[in-house]
Copies of this chain bind each other. A is one copy, B any other.
Amino acid sequence: MNKFSLCPRYEIAFSILGKKWTGLIIRCLLDGPKRFSDLSELIPHLSAKVLADRMKELEQLKLVNRTVYPEIPVKIEYSLTEQGRDLEQTLHAVQAWAEKWITVDCK
């Protein structure tokens, strides 16, 4: 068996996905592009301030695209990048494991 060393990519991935609300926002966007207000409505317990922070982070991480439509009033839509959409299997795998093994009530 080869020796193992810690790959920072693995740690970085977990630090991104493990951040509160991030996985949930990505799961909402897997369903299709959403406006800020759509996301806010879909995740009622998430404050507008925290949602705005998370969207900025996800944009910086290149997981989310922010598209501005020059309408009046201006329309802003968030969608997953290819890198973001590619997280679908990963999020499903973590969710499936958690549902099978972690015994905490989800309301």
Which of A's residues lie within 8 Å of B, judged by CB?
A: 1, 3-15, 17-18, 20-21, 23-24, 27-28, 31, 41-46, 83, 86-87, 89-90, 93-102, 104, 106-107
Contacts and interface: CB of A to CB of B under 8 A. Distances in A.
Given A6-B21, A86-B100, 13 more contacts: A3-B41, A3-B44, A7-B98, A9-B102, A10-B95, A11-B20, A12-B98, A14-B14, A14-B18, A14-B94, A17-B18, A86-B97, A90-B93
A96 B8 CA distance: 13
Q: In the assembly, how many copies of this chain are there?
A: 2
Contact of A12 (B1, B3, B104): B104
Dominant SS at the A interface?
Answer: helix
B44 A12 contact: no
Nearest to A82: B101
